[in-house]
Structure 1
Amino acid sequence: MKLAKVWVLGIAVALVGGCANNGGSTSATKNDSSGPIKIGVIVPLSGPAGPNGKDVLEAIQVQADLVNAKGGVLGRKLEVIAKDDQSTPAAGVSAATALAGEGVSVVMGGWNSPVTLAIQPVLVRAGILNITTIPQNASIIGGADPDAVRLNAGNAVGGYAAAEYIAKTLKAKTVAMLLENDAYGNDAGQYLSDQLKQAGVKIGSVQKFAYTDTDFRVPLSNIRSSKPDVVFSANAAESSGMPALAKQYAEANISAPHFAGLGTVSPKVVELAGGSKIDGLLSADIYFPEAEPFSGFADNKAFIEAYTKKSGGELPDKYRALGAQSVDIWAKAVAKAGSTDRQKVADAIHGQTFTNTILGDVTFTDAGQMRSKVYAFTVKDGKIVVKDEIPVPDSVWGK
């Protein structure tokens, strides 16, 4: 096991400015040290998750601009090149192949697990490091890409946190599930089921749906008839499916509390679902821009100031913060490694601790999973209200 090292890094190197584009010169390679360092971003820029991907891309660009304003990395500016994965594995593979041809040094982003799992082998063959921001499937870490880095809490952590709250705080005896029928939702449901069974909680009705679904009246009717104590949902479609599910759940007259999977409820979800109409919705997450302790972190404040200025006053949610965090962590690791080489940068992240990041001081497991604190929250008066921390053992972060 690697020994954790604490790095207090201020990246000081030359050149300023940065630009995002959807193309880029095909003649440049990642080994060319004469120009900007190219950061690839693969996110959905069209389709149901298009708004989400554009938000993450904007946050990545904001953070790249902040790094460039401090001098860049290794004497070079950062240039962001984005590709649309259309939320499909095939488009994701095409995007990864194109970015490899354009000479990117790293690929950030990812919105859903199937796409991330599909692009990993492409990036491994191309010798490009992948820093995953959002997807939660357990196989993303320790699977096809041994050097993968993930910032969001995985399904093992999400399942543990949900089970702890459902069993100990809500004291449920039977739990029904609404699961996205893909690598994310099925994985989330399995981890939660395993944890609940250990706590003596029974699994009741399990309903599944497609990522693109927005009508949940039939599965909600089936769940209402089963009379569970709590209903758990896993829906990663922030701009479409999840707001629709939250709203329809509130209208379905189901007496059981609704606990949504970790990271599936953002301020945008609450807004699109009708604000106070979904009061009482419960969930958990790892970042809240204006809540303590995040509001006291200098790097977080700098990111929020820059992001709100560019977005016209809109606060960044967890998804956007993780996009920015991917640039922050990678830039600091490159500065420490003295190179953009995939293996050297991966070694500078895995098993290491970084101080003064957007999410405060964070540590990565030896496998590349970022560890952070998990907090329960609820929706009250149409706003997210942070509740207590849900402690998650180190052993769970390692899964």
Structure 2
Amino acid sequence: MTFIRSLFTVFIGCFFMASCDQSGPVKIGFIAELSGAGEDTGTASLNALKLAAQQINTAGGINDRMIEIIPRDDQKSPDVAQQHVREFKELGVDAIVGPIISSIGMAMLPVINELDIVTISPTVSAAEFAGFRDNLFRMNSTTTQNARAYARHNIELGRERVAIALDGENEAFTESWYHEFLLEFDALNGRVVSKVWINVDDTPLSDIAQKLLAEKPDGIILITNGADSARLSKEIRKISDDIVLSAAEWAGSETLIDMGGDAVEGMELVQAYDRYDPNPRFQKFVADYTAMFDEHPGYTAVLTYDAATVLFAALKTKHPDQRLSDALVTMPPHPGLNQELMFDQFGDGNRGIYFVTIRDGKFIHQK
């Protein structure tokens, strides 16, 4: 009888703890690079999540529960990212938003599956993530769509010989992107005349620029982040004023323009949203973000706000006994900033892509 009474007491205690938990804040873990070369994209992402949470909280929260954001810096380290996921579990987060880069997503994936934590990444896009039912939900298109679009674009403009720089600190993304580009480019009779890695040793960017130009390519593609793309572009421009430069979509942050200056003028890249969309919902977001953070939102901010929008909607509308992952894949299309938001049965999203050229310090859509 004493044993049964003890079990009953534990049950009652757990029941009330659960009830209290349901009336406490909705805890959202956030993870991205908040220091180092890629901190601009991580900070912009966190800012967008803060804005989305503030707006929901001002309107009464999620079923009267306020949203609490718990941010963590992954330091672009797989080990650090995994540690933070385990910390999030101990803190009782309802979901995680992030990461930004695919290599960190690869490191987090087994842990979020083990601990059963729904995670929505605004931007990871390595093709290896697609087509699996797991706890990682993706807002972005994959490297299959994006890299192959770059291959067709270059061929259409007569660039049949290209040199490529790849960032060794985000190999999950860069190798996937390069592989998908090469498949399409080769099928269209294009040729990659040189492939050079950065951030794998102490090779100066000036030497890398020389290697990229050595085979006299028709163009150079940088599969690197915004800061490294800017720095490498400056070194390339010291040698060649007229070589055509492209950068993978990963580079498309405001830092690329701020750091690159004249060196990135004329650079081409893909964007995952229409930054000139007249849609009132998008224009209000731009105005609210600018007012709150005194800067224009970049692509990670836009995609993170969309991620937060769909996450908060699922948390608000799901049945109490329904798993969040099931609520996300069964939820009807939800209005986003540029397009309707939804996940397929595998938790994969998709976005339209837009080629832009940097002109006068702005990303200008190509016609």
Which residue number corresponds to residue 13 of structure 2?
none
1:371 aligned residue (339, 347, 350): 350
| Residues 1:287 and 2:273 are matched in the alignment | yes
Q: In structure 1, what residue type is equivalent to 2:301?
A: R
Deviation at 1:141, TM superposition (A): 3.1
- TM-score, reference length from structure 1: 0.81
Which residue number corresponds to residue 354 of structure 1?
333
Q: In structure 1, what residue type is equivalent to 2:166?
A: L
Which residue number corresponds to residue 157 of structure 1?
145
Distance (whole Å) between structure 1 residues aligned to residue 65 and residue 124 of structure 2: 30
Structure 1 runs not aligned, ≥5 long? 1-27, 389-399
| CA spacing shift, 1:57–1:340, aligned 2, 3 Å | farther
Q: Deviations over 1:89-147 (max 9, x none)?
A: 0110111111110000110011222211111211112221010112222223345x624
Q: In structure 1, what residue type is equivalent to 2:279?
A: G
Which residue number corresponds to residue 263 of structure 1?
250
CA contact (8 A) 2:143 2:176 kept: yes
CA contact (8 A) 1:267 1:383 kept: no
Instruction: Using the aligned pairs only, state the percent identity.
Output: 21
Alignment of 1:53-202 (within 5 A): 53-142=42-131, 146-168=134-156, 170-181=157-168, 182-202=171-191
User: Structure 1 or 2: larger helix share?
Assistant: 2
| Residues 1:309 and 2:295 are matched in the alignment | no
Distance (whole Å) between structure 2 residues aligned to residue 251 and residue 206 of structure 1: 20
Structure 2 runs not aligned, ≥5 long? 1-16
Which residue number corresponds to residue 229 of structure 2?
242
Structure 1 moving runs of 4+ over 6 Å:
28-31, 211-214
Distance (whole Å) between structure 1 residues aligned to residue 228 and residue 321 of structure 2: 38
Distance (whole Å) between structure 2 residues aligned to residue 29 and residue 86 of structure 1: 34
Distance (whole Å) between structure 2 residues aligned to residue 31 and residue 48 of structure 1: 41
CA contact (8 A) 2:28 2:69 kept: yes
Q: In structure 2, what residue type is equivalent to 1:166?
A: N
| CA spacing shift, 1:123–1:201, aligned 2, 3 Å | same
| CA spacing shift, 1:324–1:214, aligned 2, 3 Å | farther
Deviation at 1:78, TM superposition (A): 1.0
Which residue number corresponds to residue 279 of structure 2?
296
> Matched residue of 1:365: which SS?
coil
Which residue number corresponds to residue 12 of structure 2?
none
Which residue number corresponds to residue 14 of structure 1?
none
Q: Deviations over 1:142-172 (max 9, x none)?
A: 45x624211122211221211121112x122
**C-alpha RMSD of matched pairs (Å):** 2.4
Distance (whole Å) between structure 2 residues aligned to residue 30 and residue 139 of structure 1: 39
| CA spacing shift, 1:304–1:43, aligned 2, 3 Å | same
Distance (whole Å) between structure 1 residues aligned to residue 19 and residue 228 of structure 2: 38
> Matched residue of 2:153: which SS?
helix
Deviation at 1:211, TM superposition (A): 7.0
Which residue number corresponds to residue 252 of structure 1?
239
Distance (whole Å) between structure 2 residues aligned to residue 45 and residue 29 of structure 1: 33
Deviation at 1:192, TM superposition (A): 0.4
Distance (whole Å) between structure 2 residues aligned to residue 30 and residue 135 of structure 1: 35
- TM-score, reference length from structure 2: 0.88
| CA spacing shift, 1:338–1:71, aligned 2, 3 Å | farther
Structure number with larger C-alpha Rg: 2
Give aligned pairs, total. 349
| CA spacing shift, 1:335–1:34, aligned 2, 3 Å | closer
Which residue number corresponds to residue 259 of structure 2?
272
